Amino acid sequence: MIEVKNLVKDYGGHLAVDDVSFTINDGEVVGFLGPNGAGKTTTMNMITGYLSATAGSVSVAGFNVLEYPNEVKRRIGYLPEIPPLYTDMTVEEYLNFCYDLKKAKLPRGPHIEEICCLVKIDHVYKRLIKNLSKGYKQRVGIAQALIGNPEVLILDEPTVGLDPNQIIEIRNLITQLGKNHTVILSSHILSEVQAVCERIIVINNGKLVADDKAENLSKSLSKDHSLLARIIGPQKDVMRLIATIRGVEGVSATGVRESGAIEYKIDPHPEADIRRELFDRLSERHWPLIMLTSNELSLEEIFIELTSPKIPVSRKKKGED
Amino acid sequence: MKAIFKRELKSYFTSPIGYIVLSVMWAYSTMLFVTLFSSGSPDITVIFSSMFSMILFLLPLLTMRTFSEEKRQKTDQLYMTAPTSLLGVVLGKFFAAVTVFLIGMSLTLLFEFIIMIYIVPQWLVYFSNIIGTTLMASAFIALGVFISACTESQIVSAIISFAFATVMMLLDVVVTLFNVSWITAAAEWFSFSDRYNTFTNGTVDISNILFFISLAVIFIFLTVRKLDKKRWA
């Protein structure tokens, strides 16, 4: 659906986007993750045709954005970081204006009504946009992006500045929209991307540093594959037992964490999955396993790992795919 | 273009700008008309020629926001990412400003009707005046729209437009100040007021019409290029 090839944006010596390539398939919900100033917005602006690329190409549904800008723009609904709202208009006037501007073909009344119900702005329909709360303004921005029923939705930090309830509502809305749209969502909030997106593209300093499914990202980037297990049983015997499990490369007791249970740190081979066998063997001996967690990186830690300047994880990841 | 035109025209009246421009134009022209009328002269041309400088200084108020405010508020992203032509956007804004200007001038039509009660007005002279003012204003509006597209601040945009208005006014002084023939010739050629005054005299000169129309076309074209540059540079 969206094909980005070797995209470069040079702001007079400052490389905002540096050789970024990725493909987004029909119906995917992709998260664009990166710290502030990483180049997310610039990349999105180039996809939507708002900015030109210094080099590289963007095509949407097979149409190159430079050669067929209108074909591309017709297929994209864009919510920029700051929603482009004319605050002196009512929601009704604004959405009708967007309808005209986008030359939408769907029947005007029902189409706008449907969008308003979907993003839940039907009860503020007659109000001036400047009098709406930030959450509602954001919704009007999303409604604007939905006009003309574009196949692709590009949402740039749609939940910035909203309160927790509004964030959850907008997230649910995006999940709902993801069912019948291709969605690109940018954010510097990891939990958001994790909650909504199937796939994550991480950008840092204009470079693509990772592109994978959320769970794969944490697996492949985590150098620490160890497990933490809390087991009730005699320490020496338990350790001896664990050491005999195939794939276990090391085990150590980290201490008593709760009464009667000792916590062990188990280092398995990166490829091995020892969890089932561990459980079976412990239950044979009637040593209860009361906790088993992975020491894998959380998305937060991956993010820091990927975007911290000291650790050049960088392009290797992409080559592996 | 229609959507932009409608929105833009409406926005003049959701802010004080439209009302300010219209009330100043109406108050000034009414004042001129009353003075004229009480002196017993039916020559409406005086109103037009007296309004020249005032129009030059009012038009920047109409054009200062057109693109600068959109850039500042980032609402330009809406039409820049919509499947619409930039020329349509520019023309929509241009014609909206021209329309407000024409509403401002509409009162002169009423004056003609009042004159009609007493004598037969010189309709040809009147229309020559209206065409002249509208063309001159259109050229200046196109210039203002272009200046607005070059900056993010409507104040800067207004100041530069005012500066141009002042230059236009001073061109006539330049003509009288310098005795160098080519400077005088250039200033005279470029002088808005000279060309405008031929209209107020009731002479519709095709070269003057072309002058103002070309200026408007050139600045509309430059505005489109200026906006489009973002996508190419």
Q: Which amino acid is at A230?
A: R
Q: Tell me the per-residue pLDDT of B3-51, one tens digit each, with 9 for 90 and over.
A: 999 999 999 999 899 999 999 999 999 999 998 888 877 778 888 888 8
Are A101 and B79 in contact (CB < 8 Å)?
A: yes
Q: Where are the alpha helices (DSSP H) in B74-153?
A: 76-80, 86-105, 107-118, 123-149
Q: Tell me the per-residue pLDDT of B205-226, one tens digit each, with 9 for 90 and over.
A: 888 899 999 999 999 999 999 9
Task: Inform me whether the pLDDT recorded for A270 exceeds 80.
Answer: no
Q: Is A168 on the interface with B (CB under 8 A)?
A: no
Q: Which residues of chain A does B4 touch, with a Cβ-Cβ cutoff of 8 Å?
A: 101
pTM: 0.82
* A positions 72-91 inside 8 Å of B (CB): 73-74, 76, 78, 80, 82, 84-86, 88-89
| CA dist., res. A162 & res. A133, Å (int) | 10
- Adjacency order of strands within the sheet including A152-156: A76-79, A152-156, A182-187, A29-33, A199-204, A207-213
| CA dist., res. B183 & res. B171, Å (int) | 10
Residue A35: its pLDDT value, please? Answer: 80
Task: Inform me whether the pLDDT recorded for A317 exceeds 70.
Answer: no
Residue B188 lies in domain: 2-231
Phi then psi for residue A232, to 5 deg, are -95, 115
Q: Tell me the per-residue pLDDT of B68-104, one tens digit each, with 9 for 90 and over.
A: 999 999 999 999 999 988 999 999 999 999 999 999 9
| CA dist., res. A228 & res. A207, Å (int) | 35
For chain A, how many helices (H) and strands (E)?
Answer: 12, 14
Q: Which residues of chain B does A85 touch, with a Cβ-Cβ cutoff of 8 Å?
A: 75
Q: Tell me the per-residue pLDDT of A49-91, one tens digit each, with 9 for 90 and over.
A: 888 888 899 999 999 988 888 899 999 999 999 999 999 999 9
| B22 min Cα distance to partner chain A (Å) | 20
Q: Which residues of chain B does A80 touch, with a Cβ-Cβ cutoff of 8 Å?
A: 74, 77
Are A86 and B82 in contact (CB < 8 Å)?
A: no
Rounded to the nearest integer, the mean pLDDT of chain B is: 88
| B11 min Cα distance to partner chain A (Å) | 7
Residue A320: its pLDDT value, please? Answer: 38
Question: Percent of chain B beyond pLDDT 70?
Answer: 99
Task: Inform me whether the pLDDT recorded for A318 exceeds 60.
Answer: no
Interface test with A, best of B67, B78, B93 (most A CBs within 10 A): B78
| CA dist., res. A68 & res. A225, Å (int) | 48
Q: Pick the more confident residue, B52 or A112.
A: A112
Q: Tell me the per-residue pLDDT of A190-235, one tens digit each, with 9 for 90 and over.
A: 777 878 888 989 888 888 888 888 777 766 665 667 888 899 888 8
Are B82 and A102 in contact (CB < 8 Å)?
A: yes
Please, what is the angle between helix B154-177 and helix B192-200, to 10°?
Answer: 80
Interface test with B, best of A68, A101, A108, A152 (most B CBs within 10 A): A101
Domain count, chain B: 1
| A169 min Cα distance to partner chain B (Å) | 24
Residue A312: its pLDDT value, please? Answer: 45
Of the pLDDT bands very low, low, confident and very high (cuts 50, 70, 90), residue A126 is very high
Task: Inform me whether the pLDDT recorded for A304 exceeds 60.
Answer: yes
Residue A313: its pLDDT value, please? Answer: 42
Question: Percent of chain A beyond pLDDT 70?
Answer: 91
